[in-house]
Amino acid sequence: MQFIKQIRDPVHGWIRLTKDEVELLDSLPVIQRLRYIKQLGMVYLVYPSAVYSRFDHSLGVMHLAYHIGKELLPKVAVSEDLDYLLKHLRLAALLHDIGHYPFSHTFEGVIGELVSASKDLGCGNSVDISLFEREKPHEVTGRLIVERISSDLRERGYDPSLIKSILDKEYSSKDGEIVKILSGIVSGTLDADRLDYIMRDLYFTGAAVGTSIGHIDLERMISNIDYVKGYGLVFDEKARVHLEGYVITRYNIYRHVYLHHKTILFTEVARSILRENIQKCREGSLKGVICEYLCDLARFVSGDISEDLLWRTTDDFFVSVFINDTKFKDLLSRRKLGYISLWKRDKDYLEIFKDDVKLINRTIDEIYSSSEIEAQQIMKTVLIEELNRMLEKTGCKLADGDLEIAHAAFDPKADDIYIATQEGPIRLEQLSPLVQAVKEAWDRSPHFFAYLREEAARSCGNRVVAYIKRILPAVLPYVAKVSLIAPE
């Protein structure tokens, strides 16, 4: 594989590119668009330097996928054309986030509503809505985009069907072991995607807490990697301490960055603003630039990559449209949003829920695993009703907008990371007390946050927290039962 160009990256050093990759980067606006999509969404409102882009991350994933593939594939693909596989692995890694929307994951939970509303708005796009309910929306959009650029890929010797197979985990499992391995390198339990975003997020947020992972850890993990059919990636015992560091670092960055109580609040407020505008446009109570923009966004979601449309689906263009919404303007200005967190840290959460904390967390995760939007609305409605029933005698009453709740989602398990032993591959968490401790720590951390409007907090005081503590263990089983009922 010949490289003709190098890009200087603050995380990985020099990232090298082939002639075909340079030509695709320079000729496809749909890739360049990623320069204008923030990797971390609303996190920059909490960590000011967290402003790097999906483009930076995609280059990093391509770089790491290549190094993992170069180490692993000769051990498992002896009869295959390694350069051919590596060429496709690199491009799949480069394109893996091509379907992301403005502010990355921020609005992903609202995309199903947008696609559904777009039919009422006459946006002219047609796509199977159920796809966005079964899978991550940006991955669905990404595969639709790869389909649109197939001719550009073929011109440069790529097989678009192989690229799509690598990006589509469900399909790749039926498409032969080698493609399954390639898919796992890009997106698995310990993959190029996670390794890059953890290292990059640590660098740009400065949020390394207690432990971190660097190039020495990375080289040690990659040089001790293997693949065993039926298990997936298997590492030599020599890499164990570095794998433990990876698991702990991942947990810490989730707690301190992605699941920071302010990050979750800002994300939830942004989603509610988009959801509210979708509803207004759908009802006809709002017309004009925002409704027109929602149609543009819906067309992109459905795989439309006409060049004029692409540049209207960047962070900056989104801001230029939604600056007309007072709430969004306040969010960007970090004006007081009028909400206070009822708890912020593990200590607060444990003090409130004490011995019930593990059961509450387990039930909340189960509820949100069904349908995040429906579960959240049901839970909020039931909580407000029950709180008002208890507050009735105090003269205090909560309105619909007085309470906001949001799920804090994280999977601490390392089920698919195996260590090679004389008895065969064994899961890392079975061998490592440190990894087991991470799971135990997460079981006692906040799995959801509740925010109370300041006016309501002033009138209701600490009674709301006390009542939530009393009613939540009783309310959750009911919410679980209602939200987990399969639709007819």
Letter for the amino acid at 314? T
**H or E element in which residue 418 lies:** strand 418-419
User: Taking the CB of residue 393, how many other CB atoms lie within 10 A of it?
Assistant: 7
Angle between helices 372-391 and 357-370 (to 10 degrees): 130
Give the count of beta carbons closer than 10 Å to the beta carbon of residue 448: 21
Ordered domains of the chain (ranges, CATH): 5-263 (1.10.3210.10), 339-408+445-483 (no CATH)
Confidence (pLDDT) at 122: 84
C-alpha 104/C-alpha 53 separation (Å) is 9
pLDDT tens digit at each of 488 positions of the chain: 899 999 999 999 999 999 999 999 999 999 999 999 999 999 999 999 999 999 999 999 999 999 999 999 998 876 678 999 999 999 999 999 999 999 999 999 899 899 989 888 888 777 777 777 778 899 999 999 999 999 999 999 999 999 999 998 765 555 688 898 999 999 887 899 999 999 999 999 988 776 778 899 999 999 999 998 888 889 999 999 999 999 999 999 999 999 999 999 999 999 999 999 999 999 999 999 999 999 999 999 999 999 999 999 999 999 999 999 999 999 999 877 888 898 999 999 998 888 889 989 998 888 887 666 777 788 888 888 888 888 887 888 888 888 888 999 888 766 678 999 999 999 999 999 999 999 999 999 999 999 988 888 888 867 888 888 888 877 888 777 776 544 33
Locate all alpha helices (DSSP H) within 257-371, ordered by sequence. Answer: 261-283, 289-301, 307-310, 315-322, 326-333, 346-353, 357-370
* pLDDT at 415 (0 to 100): 60
Q: Which residues of 253-274 are buried (b: 16+ CB within 10 A; e: fewer)?
A: bbbbbbbbbbbbbbbbbbbebb
Cα 170–chain centre separation: 19
Q: Which residues contact 408 (CB under 8 A, 6 or more apart)?
A: 259, 264, 445, 446, 447, 448, 449
Q: Which two tokens stand for residue 334?
A: 């970090």
What pLDDT is recorded for position 119?
A: 84
Entry pTM: 0.92
- pLDDT, one tens digit per residue, over 379-417 is 888 888 888 888 887 888 888 888 888 999 888 766 678
d(CA 92, CA 40): 21
Nearest CA to 203 out of 191, 212, 192 is that of 212
CA-based diameter of the chain, in Å?
77
Q: What's the pLDDT tens digit per position in 218-237? A: 999 999 999 988 888 899 99
- What does the DSSP 8-state code read for residue 486? P
Residue 209 CA, distance from chain mean position: 21
How far is the C-alpha of 31 from the C-alpha of 54, rounded, in Å? 10
> What is d(CA 281, CA 464) in angstroms, rounded to the nearest whole number?
34
Residue 2 burial (C-beta neighbours within 10 Å; 0-12, 13-18, 19+): exposed
Residues 348 and 361: their CA atoms lie apart, in Å, by 15
**Residues sharing a CB contact under 8 Å with residue 298, sequence separation 6 or more, in sequence order:** 114, 115, 117, 118, 121, 123, 125
Phi, psi dihedral angles at 45 (to 5 degrees): -75, -15
**CB-CB contact of 209 with 256 (8 Å):** yes
Instruction: Report the C-alpha gap between 73 and 80 in whole angstroms.
Output: 9
For position 23, what pLDDT does the model report?
A: 97
Return the pLDDT at 79: 67
For residue 78, the model assigns a pLDDT of 66
Q: What are phi and psi of 101, to 5 degrees?
A: -95, 170
The Cα 350–Cα 364 span in angstroms is 15
Provide the pLDDT for residue 371. Answer: 67
d(CA 167, CA 140): 10
**Could you say which DSSP state residue 356 is in?**
G
- Please say whether the beta carbons of 445 and 255 come within 8 A: yes
